[in-house]
Structure 1
C-alpha cells in the first residue's frame, strides 16, 4: 500500500461495474483512499497484465465473482492532495462494464463488505459523485457483447 501513497508517477487502476439485471455489485473498501466507503470494485494493474485481465483478476479477488469483461465505461483520473497541496494519491482509472459468469459473491482481500445493490436503491450507499456517474454511464451501454 505504501507505494500508492505519495507516488512518483500515476498508478493505473481498473474497476468494473458488475451488472445482473436491475442490480450491480458494490463493495466497501478497507483501505485508503476511500476507506470505509462504498464503491465500484477494482484495484491496481500489475506489470505485464492486460487491462481486461487485470479487471477480471481484481473483481474476482474483491468479490469472488468470475466476470466477462465488456466495454470500457470511462477513463478518468483521481488525484487526491494532502493539506499541504502535495499529491497524496494519483490514479488513472479504467472502468469496464462486466457480467457475472461464475463464483459466489463474498468480500475479498481489500474489502470489508460486498453486496448486490439495486440501481434504484443506491442512495444509502453514499457513493462518490464519480462512482455514481460511472454507474449511470454503465446503464446506458448495451449488454449484447
Structure 2
C-alpha cells in the first residue's frame, strides 16, 4: 500500500487581542491546546475545510481571509518508522459570530489572550506560538 501525507487545515482566528484555541480531545496531543482544524475532505478546499472544522470544534463562524503558511507534522515510532505525516496548512480567518465551546473532537475551546500564548500559560501543541507570530506579523 502506497502511503502519502494527509492534508490538514488549521483555522487561525484573531479577535480583540485574543486568539481562538481548542483543546484536543484525541491523540496525538490529547489535552494540549492548538488551532482548530482537521482533515481536508476529498473535493474540499483547504479554506473550506478550515471554516468547517472551526465551526465543528468551536461553534465559531468565520470567513477565510488567506493562507498564512504550511508545515509538515511527522511523528515517528521508536524504531524511526513514520507513524503520522500531515501537511498542515494554516488559514487566517475573520471572526463573524459565536461563543466558543468544545465540540466534535475538541474538549474545550476559548479565546486566549495573545500574551498568554507567548508566555506559555497553557500547554500548547508544537508551533502554536510560532504560527501566532506569523499571523500577527503577516495578518
TM-score greater than 0.5 by the shorter chain? yes
Instruction: Name the residue aligned to 1:37.
Output: 32
Matches within 5 A, 1:1-145: 8-122=3-117, 123-142=120-139
Post-superposition shift, 1:111? 0.4
Q: Distance in 2 between matches of 1:114 and 1:129?
A: 17
TM-score by length of 2: 0.92
Structure 1 segments unaligned to the other structure (5+ residues): 1-6
Question: Shift of the alpha carbon at 1:129?
Answer: 4.3
Determine the C-alpha separation between the residues in 2 that align with 1:128 and 1:109. 18
How much has 1:33 moved relative to structure 2? 1.4
Number of residue pairs the alignment of both structures matches: 136
Q: Which runs of 5+ in 2 are unaligned?
A: none
* Structure 1 length-normalised TM: 0.88
**CA RMSD after TM alignment:** 1.3
